[in-house]
Amino acid sequence: MVQPASYDANSIQVLEGLEAVRRRPGMYVGGTDLKALHHLVYEVVDNSIDEALAGACDQIEISINADSSVTVEDNGRGIPVDIHPEKKISALTVVMTVLHAGGKFGGGGYKVSGGLHGVGVSAVNALSEWMEVEVRRDGNVYFQRFERGHPIGVVKIIGAAKGAVTGTKTTFKYDPTIFKEETDFRFDTLMQRFREMAFVTRGVTIHFADERSGREMTFHFEGGITSFVRYLNRNRENLHPVVFMEKIVDGIGVEAAVQYTDAFTESVYSFANTINTVDGGTHMTGLRSALTRVINDYARKSGLLKDADPNFSGDDTREGLTAIVSIKHPDPQFESQTKVKLMNPEVQTYVTQVVGEAFTTFLEENPGAAKGIIAKCLTSSRARDAARKARDLVIRKSALESLTLPGKLADCSEKDSSKTELYIVEGDSAGGSAKQGRDRHFQAILPLRGKILNTERARLDKILGNNEVKALISALGMGIGDSFDITGLRYGRIIIMTDADVDGSHIRTLLLTFFFRYMPSLIEDGHLYIAQPPLYRIEHKKQARYVYADADKDAYIKELGKDSEKASIQRYKGLGEMNPEQLWETTMDPQNRTLLLVGVEDVAEADRTFDMLMGDAVDPRRKFIQTHAKKVRNLDI
């Protein structure tokens, strides 16, 4: 025994605090849903990440156990166990039971890593059916168990820690009476977060294992966020090596990694105390404005930008930019409880300063790279100019022609967009069948001839010049670019209907890329679908059956047994092989058809995926296409 059991005023206060967490979990961990459940894990792992950021730990092991308990083990200094001077109980017990106690004592260094609301591990303890902590320190192994936040006995020594081994091992089982709904940890969700944590905590090794499935992953990035940028650009052509910059200003750690590529898109991610701030904030603004300023200054000084030329805009300097900015702040201010936007004003000044100095030096010392980056900005600026002119022309034209619909669009009679559908069909012949087969009251048909443009590899001006794309934009009624307005959408469902062959899947991909790049809200709001035409028609004893998958065809033939010799099997190579009635019956009739809803679960991942799919690198594209089918959720209507 290392402490007396005491039930004084302090412990009563403690228990009241934990009761408050159990009564109102929403206030402390953001709810009782799957997201909140995952946050319990992050809260515990954050403590180990803090040890790593303090330079005291380089190994973190996380496992989801068979009983859905979670273990997090690190080789840090171990949570202190000595008796807390005020509370007269072990520091370990205090950390585990007092809200916000986590980093308040012990040696220097402040708590920097995220936490959900910075409540610390005690909130997790309160929401756990049980929790056990093992601390290796001073040659001993200390142990304490808790149930629903209450200590079960005092801190005990249960063994000897070999040599100078130190660390903390925490296992918790969430309380199913609180997390009632959906309660299965998702490996991929957790893995994504651990990968980010490992990127922004250079040198730490995070091993993550799922005992339920046997899956495991190890993350270790010697290069920290430099590796992160390399990872993001793994399928892009870069213009120079990653530029890494780092400085502590006024107690705030600032790190950034920057690399330009030949892509047309921007991939910039920001982190505050290891949390991915998806809505950016002052660190993001600081990074962007520094890059724009430095590039303009250098371009003027070196004469690459002439006196008569206007400055590059922020958009010009962001085309092809991949960057990470990561800050560590003792007192981060976020816009809301969800921690997606950093608000500290001083951070913008510091990031601008650090990135400004370092990137200026980089350009001065690497004139070749500087020239490449500026050439890229020039092309981007000229293209934007051309696009603006082209768009103005399109807008003026469409104002004149007052929304003329494309000639080949067979529109529907219904005007209420919540009831209407637009089928985008490959080829004129399938378009013909679809026009005859449809219910013209609410279904419109737009046939596309041949392939539309690869919009990933072309700029807006060129895209707007393509007739198929033009027809698509005016049929949808929302405009494009800066003038895009989703309220103009003329159809509630946009359905891509292509042949079940290689060309069909290519056209489908080109369309998906176009929508993702230029009309993402169409996907986010759930308007985009993929039609599912049958692969076979099997006729047996004058009974026709449509089959949508090879496996179903095989199953049916097996079912027919010997009789299958009498069946006639027709394989549909294209939509054009179906007559209008068949097309209606199998693919367009809301009573019978199956549609796949296209969703973007994670925009950042989709960004990488689309780039990979449509970019220049060939191998990863092939790999992606093979696994693509699984990513689209099924939706029966």
Closer to ligand 0RA by Cβ: residue 106 or 520: 106
DSSP 242-255: PEEEEEEETTEEEE
Cα 125 from Cα 146, distance rounded (Å): 7
Q: Is 449 helix (H, G, I), strand (E, B) or coil?
A: coil
Q: Rule CB under 6 A: is residue 106 a binding residue for ligand 0RA?
A: yes
How far is it, in rounded angstroms, from Cα 352 to Cα 361? 14
Which residues in 76-105 contact ligand 0RA (CB under 6 A)? 76-80
Of the candidates 46, 426, 461, 468, the residue annotated as catalytic is 426
Q: Between vectors from CA 461 to CA 460 and to CA 462, what angle results, nearest 5°?
A: 90
Q: Pick the binder of ligand 0RA from 107, 214, 345, 561 (CB under 6 A).
A: 107
Question: With respect to ligand 0RA, which residue has the nearer C-beta, 60 or 232?
Answer: 60
φ, ψ of residue 570 in degrees (nearest 5): -110, 125
In the residue annotation, 46 being an active-site residue is answered as no
Residue 120 Cβ, how far from ligand 0RA at the closest point, in Å? Answer: 9
What gap in Å lies between CA 41 and CA 123, rounded to an integer? 11
74 binds ligand 0RA (CB under 6 A): yes
List the 275-276 sheet strands across, edge first. Answer: 243-249, 252-260, 321-328, 267-272, 275-276
Among 21, 41, 51, 476, binds ligand 0RA (CB under 6 A): 51
Q: Interface with ligand 0RA by CB under 6 A: which range of 47-55, 230-238, 263-271, 494-502?
A: 47-55
Query: Which residue in the list 335, 392, 501, 539 is annotated as catalytic?
Result: 501
* Segment interacting with ligand 0RA (CB under 6 A) among 71-79, 207-215, 477-485, 627-635: 71-79
In the complex, the smallest distance separating the C-beta of residue 552 from ligand 0RA, rounded to whole angstroms, is: 52
Beta bridge partners of residue 332, listed in sequence order: none
Nearest distance from residue 83's CB to ligand 0RA, in Å? 14
Instruction: Name the residue nearer to ligand 0RA (CB basis): 71 or 277.
Output: 71
Report in angstroms how near the CB of residue 54 gets to ligand 0RA at its nearest.
8
Report the residue number, 109 or 477, with the smaller CB distance to ligand 0RA: 109
Written as six digits, the tokens of 200 are: 């922004």
Q: How many angstroms separate the CA atoms of 233 and 261, rounded?
A: 8
Exactly one of 3, 75, 97, 168 binds ligand 0RA (CB under 6 A); that residue is 168
Q: How far apart are CA 430 and CA 21, in angstroms?
A: 61
3-state secondary structure of 322: strand
| Minimum separation from the CB atom of position 106 to ligand 0RA (A) | 3
Options 74-82, 330-338, 339-347, 418-426: segment touching ligand 0RA (CB under 6 A): 74-82
**Cα–Cα distance between 254 and 287 in angstroms, integer?**
10
Q: Of 45-53, 460-468, 539-547, 564-572, which part binds ligand 0RA (CB under 6 A)?
A: 45-53
Give residue 465's identity as a one-letter amino acid code.
G
We find the least distance from the C-beta atom of residue 275 to ligand 0RA, in angstroms, to be 18
Q: How far is the CB of 33 from ligand 0RA (least distance, A)?
A: 25
Q: Is 114 in the site for ligand 0RA (CB under 6 A)?
A: no
Confirm whether 503 is a catalytic residue. yes
Q: Which one, 137 or 236, has the nearer CB to ligand 0RA?
A: 137
Q: Minimum Å distance from CB 9 to ligand 0RA?
A: 24
Cβ at position 343, least distance to ligand 0RA in Å: 27
Q: Which is nearer to ligand 0RA, 80 or 320 (CB)?
A: 80
Point out the catalytic residue in the list 43, 73, 499, 611: 499
Q: Which of residues 216-275 bind ligand 0RA (CB under 6 A)?
A: none
Whole-angstrom distance, CA of residue 354 vs CA of residue 370: 18
Total residues in contact with ligand 0RA, by rule CB under 6 A: 12
112 in helix, strand or coil? coil
Q: Does 120 bind ligand 0RA (CB under 6 A)?
A: no
Rounded to a whole number of angstroms, the minimum distance from the CB of residue 103 to ligand 0RA is: 6
Judged by CB under 6 A, the residue of 32, 47, 227, 587 near ligand 0RA is 47
3-state secondary structure of 184: coil
Q: Give, in degrees to the nearest 5, the angle at Cα 479 between 474 and 481.
A: 135
* Span between the terminal Cα atoms of the chain, in Å: 64
What are phi and psi for residue 307, nearest 5 degrees?
A: -55, -40
* Closest C-alpha among 550, 635, 545, 538 to residue 593: 635
Active site residue: 211, 266, 279, 503, which one? 503
48 binds ligand 0RA (CB under 6 A): yes
Q: Which residues contact 598 (CB under 8 A, 6 or more apart)?
A: 512, 515, 523, 528, 529, 530, 632
> Which lies closer to ligand 0RA via its Cβ, residue 45 or residue 478?
45
Q: Torsion over CA of 299, 301, 305 and 310, rounded to 10 degrees? A: 90
Q: Which residue's C-beta sits nearest to ligand 0RA? A: 106
Q: For residues 618 and 608, what is the distance between their CA atoms, to the nearest angstrom?
A: 14
Whole-angstrom Cα distance, residue 59 to residue 53?
Answer: 12
Q: How far is the CB of 77 from ligand 0RA (least distance, A)?
A: 4
Hunting for tokens 């590039």 — which residue is that? 295
Q: Whose Cβ is closer to ligand 0RA: residue 95's or residue 480's?
A: 95
Nearer to ligand 0RA, 53 or 446 (CB): 53
113 binds ligand 0RA (CB under 6 A): no
Complex with ligand 0RA: residue 51 or 411, whichever CB lies closer: 51
- Check: CB of residue 536 under 8 Å from CB of residue 553: yes
Q: How far apart are CA 179 and CA 569, in angstroms?
A: 52
Q: Which is nearer to ligand 0RA, 166 or 609 (CB)?
A: 166
Q: Report d(CA 241, CA 263) in Å as an integer.
A: 15
Q: Do strands 443-448 and 421-426 pair parallel, antiparallel, or not at all (unpaired)? A: parallel
Nearest CA among 471, 470, 448 for reference residue 460: 470
Query: Among all residues, which ones are annotated catalytic?
Result: 426, 499, 501, 503
Sites of contact with ligand 0RA (CB under 6 A):
47-48, 51, 74, 76-80, 106-107, 168
